[in-house]
Structure 1
Amino acid sequence: MKYLILFCSLMVSSTMAHSLKGSWQLMSGFYVNEQGQKVDYEGLKLSAIKVVSDKHFSFITMADGKFWAAGAGDFEANEKTYTERPVHTSYAVPADGKYQFDYTLDGELWKKSRWQDGELVEQEVWQRLP
């Protein structure tokens, strides 16, 4: 019985990774800056592409046509959470080395929310690219 449970757990994890696999384009979002102010991506004219494989991710973000940020690393996902562990970045990574998001897949849209101490600090909507 315990082997069946382990097998099912592995299958769910694999299915979640597979459902995120592909190329994604940033549609909208915001983050809360160090001063506690909400910064809307539209105001920054951000555009980004994220590529997700079975176990790794990478992205590059532009602001008004100029380089903004890039990162790559590995991730884990289950049916509710997506956790990135950036390895190569153009920005400082948090002390614990990861970003954990709650997420939903709604057709071709991937909606992610990141919370810190009970506060929503980042939210993004990505659309799957063909």
Structure 2
Amino acid sequence: MKYLVLVFALFANSVLAHSLKGSWQLVSGFYVDEQGQTIDYEGLKLSAIKVVSDNHFSFITMADGKFWAAGAGDFEATDSTYAERPVHTSYPVPADGQFRFDYVLDGDLWQKKRWQDGKLVEQEVWRRMP
């Protein structure tokens, strides 16, 4: 029985990773900066592509046609949470080494929210690329 549970857990994790697997284009979003101000991605003219494999992610973001940020590393996902552990980045990584999001996958849209101390500090919407 123990082996059946292990096989199911590994299969479930593989299915979840597969549901996020692919190339994604940023649609919209915002983040809260160090001063507590909400910064809308549209105002920054951000565009980004994120690639998710079975166990790894990478992305590059441009602001009005110029480099903004990039990162790559591994991740873990459940049916409602997604945690990136960046290894290579152009930005500071939190002390615990990860960014945790709640997410909803609705067809070709991936909506992610990140909370800090009970406050929404980042929200993104990504569209799966053909």
Q: In the alignment, residue 84 of structure 2 is paired with which amino acid?
A: E
Query: Which residue of 1 is the match for residue 31 of structure 2?
Result: 31
1:73 aligns with 2:73: yes
In structure 2, what is the Cα distance between the partners aligned to 1:10 and 1:32? 35
| Match of residue 15 from structure 1 | 15
- TM-score by structure 2 length? 0.98
Q: Residues 1-130 of structure 1 correspond to what in structure 2 (within 5 A)? A: 1-130=1-130
Q: Secondary structure at the match of 2:79?
A: coil
Deviations 1:84-116 (A, max 9, x none): 000000011111100000011100000000001
1:2 Cα deviation after fit = 1.9
In percent, how many aligned pairs have the same letter? Answer: 78
Superposed CA RMSD in Å reads 0.6
Moved over 3 A (4+): none
* CA displacement at 1:3 relative to structure 2: 1.6
Amino acid at match of 1:120: L
Could you tell me which amino acid in structure 2 is paired with residue 117 of structure 1?
D
Q: Deviation digits for residues 27-76 of structure 1, max 9, x if unmatched?
A: 00000000011100000000000000010000000000100000000001
Structure 2 residue runs of 5 or longer lacking an equivalent are: none
Counterpart residue type for residue 94 of structure 1: P
- Give the whole-Å Cα distance in 1 for the aligned partners of 2:7 and 2:37: 45
Aligned length: 130
Q: Secondary structure at the match of 1:79?
A: coil
| TM-score, scaled to structure 1 | 0.98
Counterpart code for 1:43 = G
Alpha-carbon distance in structure 2 between the residues aligned to 1:20 and 1:83: 12
**What are the ranges of 5 or more consecutive residues in structure 1 without an aligned counterpart?**
none
